[in-house]
Amino acid sequence: MEAYRQEIIIGAVIIYMVFCVITGLWAMRRTKNSSDFFIAGRGLGPIVVSLALFSSTLSGFGFVGGPGLVYSIGVSSFWMIVISSTGYALGFFLVAKRIRMIADVRNCISLPDVLAARYNSEAVRFLIAVTIVLGVMGYLATQILAMAVVMQAILSGTVMFADIGLVTCVVISSAVLIFYCVTGGIIASVYTDVVQGAIMMIAGALILLTAMSVFDGGMQEATSIILADDGEAMMPFGAAGIMASLGWFFVFGLGLAGQPHLVTKMMMNRSISDNRVILPMSLFGYVMAALLWVSIGVIMRAAVIDGVIEPLALPDDAASLFLSIFTNPLLAGIVFAGLFAAIMSTSDAFLNIGTAAIIHDIPKAIQGHAIQNELFWARIVTVILAIVAASFALYSHFEDATLVAILGAFGWATFAASIFPVLAIGLNWKGATAMGAVAAIVSALLINFIIQLAGIVLPYGILGGLIAFIVSLVLFIGVSLVTKKPELDADMEAVLNI
């Protein structure tokens, strides 16, 4: 079996991609209008929503960057994932019920739609839509690039595709992504998410078992090797220190309820009562998949320190090298398919919300009404958005990475800082005003942009995203308290009272 390692891995990835294409064709017949395309007609069952929610949370970053971070900075990066249980809980307490109600009452198909209804403000709709488009471009470009790099690494190991170029890999991977997103919209996206989520959970569990067998003394031997080399790396605050760790805890924990691609999924369930089972199921899936992040990172750092393997050229090589050295080919095939699943499940969610912002929200904010024939334009814009992001990814890879780095600042932390106060607090506090919302969004964007552009390094590893988040919270509540309490429409008043 070992002689066919590369063929087995390629076979697993091809089977997965064929599945995505078939799902796209199947979902196309169920997509009749823009509501089906963007929010699946609000008719999804709890298992589908749970798996879609957690698989969209854990992107390629979780499968590639996560183990790389543990290799690089030790336990510091654990803070990004151990907060997930609190993050999911807060997301459901603060957002899940009311976002679904407002979507129903006002027939909303996007997050900016919901917030425009809540604040009765087109300015809020516009700012959130622009934030989403900027963030989506950065996220999508990095996801597409990651997908192509992994594909190139797999294919170049075979005789037939030894010289395959990155551009070809971008074209192949983007084509599959575009096909199922365009044909089936969010319906294809969430049903592929179900399989993607299942693969990720299985991969996480199997990798943990494999990782525990690398050293005779299991995980404890690995952690004691790291501890003996550098005590801080294996202690709770890791190599990056206490403030970086607590900053991640804050931004990743509270920020989960501010991620547009996740909260939009909370609008898609058939019944509000399903939320009581969606929360534990999503969290269980996330924890299972995140086992891969922790276990690969710890084992690879210990293996290098102990001289079992050579030092890695790059920390991000941790996952792929672990798979090629320590796992059998079948497991490697499952995990590589899981990696594509993680990247694609996040990418399709971003394509969907980015398209909604462009064809639905920005026109509505500017001209007061949506464009005609939304479904047709949704499909066109999905293709254009994916092509622009793919071109952008290639340009940044070959020419200049600065632009992607800047838009990369509009990642998780910016979404968290600009959307969390406005959405999570705004849906639960009638005193929140449009002025407060605008102040929070603008401050979050400006602070993140300035810190990124000016290359400001804060003492003790304090994150720029943490500063932006706290300023945004202070301004949102403070400005709302000092501005005139809004007159809510009767239906909004009723929703906020329930």
Integer angstrom CA distances of residue 31 from 267, 270, 320, 472: 17, 16, 37, 38
H helix and E strand count, the chain: 25, 0
- Exactly one of 104, 175, 384, 400 binds another protein (CB under 8 A); which one? 104
- Which conformational region is residue 461 in: left (phi greater than 0), alpha (psi within -120 to 50 degrees), or beta? left
Q: Name which of 148 and 251 has its Cβ closer to another protein.
A: 251
Give the binding-site size for another protein (rule: CB under 8 A): 94
Q: Which of residues 365-424 bind another protein (CB under 8 A)?
A: 424
- Residue 313, interface with another protein (CB under 8 A)? yes
- Exactly one of 220, 367, 373, 402 binds another protein (CB under 8 A); which one? 220
- Exactly one of 164, 167, 227, 403 binds another protein (CB under 8 A); which one? 227
- Residue 458, interface with another protein (CB under 8 A)? yes
Q: Name which of 7 and 104 has its Cβ closer to another protein.
A: 104
Shortest distance, position 351 Cβ to another protein, whole Å: 30
Q: Give the integer Cα–Cα distance in Å for 237 and 74.
A: 9
- Residue 498, interface with another protein (CB under 8 A)? yes
- Residue 122, interface with another protein (CB under 8 A)? no
Q: Are 109 and 39 in contact, with CB atoms under 8 Å apart?
A: yes
Q: Which of residues 240-269 bind another protein (CB under 8 A)?
A: 240-244, 246, 249-250, 253-254
Instruction: With contacts defined by CB under 8 A, name the span among 45-53, 235-243, 262-270, 350-358 that binds another protein.
Output: 235-243
Shortest distance, position 104 Cβ to another protein, whole Å: 7
Shortest distance, position 68 Cβ to another protein, whole Å: 8
Helix then strand then coil, in percent of the chain rounded to 5, is: 80, 0, 20
- Dig out the tokens for 444 from the structure: 């979050």
Q: Are 471 and 450 in contact, with CB atoms under 8 Å apart?
A: no
Q: Are 28 and 184 in contact, with CB atoms under 8 Å apart?
A: yes
Q: Name which of 237 and 350 has its Cβ closer to another protein.
A: 237
Shortest distance, position 363 Cβ to another protein, whole Å: 23
Q: Are 203 and 290 in contact, with CB atoms under 8 Å apart?
A: no
Q: What ranges in 58-165 are assigned the alpha helix state H? A: 60, 66-73, 79-82, 84-91, 97-106, 111-119, 122-155
Q: Name which of 81 and 365 has its Cβ closer to another protein.
A: 81
Q: Give the integer Cα–Cα distance in Å for 290 and 67.
A: 10
- Exactly one of 21, 47, 477, 488 binds another protein (CB under 8 A); which one? 477
Shortest distance, position 272 Cβ to another protein, whole Å: 6
Crossing angle of helices 434-454 and 412-420, rounded to 10°: 160
- Exactly one of 19, 93, 161, 449 binds another protein (CB under 8 A); which one? 93
DSSP code for 151: H
Instruction: With contacts defined by CB under 8 A, name the span among 55-63, 162-170, 221-229, 436-444 that binds another protein.
Output: 221-229
Q: Give the integer Cα–Cα distance in Å for 86 and 79.
A: 12
Shortest distance, position 77 Cβ to another protein, whole Å: 11
- Residue 71, interface with another protein (CB under 8 A)? yes
Q: Are 68 and 314 in contact, with CB atoms under 8 Å apart?
A: yes
- Residue 205, interface with another protein (CB under 8 A)? no
Shortest distance, position 75 Cβ to another protein, whole Å: 6
Instruction: With contacts defined by CB under 8 A, name the span among 100-108, 338-346, 364-372, 386-394 that binds another protein.
Output: 100-108
Tell me which residue of 266, 378, 292, 365 sits closest to 35, measured CA to CA: 378
Q: What letter represents residue 109's amino acid? A: I
Instruction: With contacts defined by CB under 8 A, name the span among 36-44, 273-281, 321-329, 390-398 that binds another protein.
Output: 273-281
Q: Name which of 164 and 474 has its Cβ closer to another protein.
A: 474
- Exactly one of 315, 354, 408, 486 binds another protein (CB under 8 A); which one? 315
Q: Name which of 224 and 328 has its Cβ closer to another protein.
A: 224
Q: Are 43 and 117 in contact, with CB atoms under 8 Å apart?
A: no
Q: What letter represents residue 398's amino acid? A: F
Q: Are 341 and 199 in contact, with CB atoms under 8 Å apart?
A: yes
Q: Give the integer Cα–Cα distance in Å for 267 and 281.
A: 17
Shortest distance, position 130 Cβ to another protein, whole Å: 25
- Residue 462, interface with another protein (CB under 8 A)? yes
Buried b (16+ CB within 10 A) or exposed e, 399-420: eeeeebeebbbbbbbbbbbbbb
Shortest distance, position 303 Cβ to another protein, whole Å: 11
Q: Are 272 and 44 in contact, with CB atoms under 8 Å apart?
A: no
Shortest distance, position 26 Cβ to another protein, whole Å: 31
Shortest distance, position 108 Cβ to another protein, whole Å: 13
Q: Name which of 224 and 391 has its Cβ closer to another protein.
A: 224
Q: Name which of 303 and 385 has its Cβ closer to another protein.
A: 303
Q: Which of residues 292-311 bind another protein (CB under 8 A)?
A: 294, 301, 304-305, 311
E runs forming strands in 240-293: none
Shortest distance, position 241 Cβ to another protein, whole Å: 5
Tell me which residue of 273, 279, 272 sits closest to 92, measured CA to CA: 279
